[in-house]
Structure 1
């Protein structure tokens, strides 16, 4: 049986893959001319930079998520760490939606806090497990 932390990790990878697809579609009019408006403009021109920025964000704070999960894969985990991992993934999805679909920086910051706290919780578990050994 696979480790339960693999699924939230795979879900985040799937989110990143989806963002790559979205970015490719959003850039297609400018790069390949596919989907250009009659005037030659890109219908995704306003949203493309937000998709790109969000995709970059998937390689910043999530690094700490993966590090904690990999350590917990080796040292053992609890239901609480699995819950925190899924909270992180749900928070990343919400963060992506807010960053791509809105320009509301305050809301984006609030949603990011979900991810931030979940990863801090995972690291607290990592440290507690390390202190017990």
Structure 2
């Protein structure tokens, strides 16, 4: 990520515009949004939790979502909110925040942050359902 570019985060579920946690994502100011695709990751719907999880996947798998861009001065406020929602500091953590490269709708590749599901043992239990097409909003 270049120093003149503010940090950005790829969201694929409840934090997306229209998702149940979009208000939390906008608490520090309305972010700019851009449609994007994350390749080589798998999207799952977790039930009864009713939220999505992504994990590294196979080539050809992809996740649809948006990149949120905030003014640089609010990132110190945004990351703690998002990290708390995603259980980054829980023991064991629920999600890990990591850097990935996404393809923006414009065709550009951008390095961004994303929350990757950390409790992989949960994925072997009933209720972890792959989401065909990688768009959580399209999951029934």
TM-score interval (norm. to shorter)? under 0.3
TM-score between the two structures when normalised by the length of structure 1: 0.24
Larger Rg over CA atoms: 1
TM-score between the two structures when normalised by the length of structure 2: 0.23
Higher helix fraction (1 or 2): 1
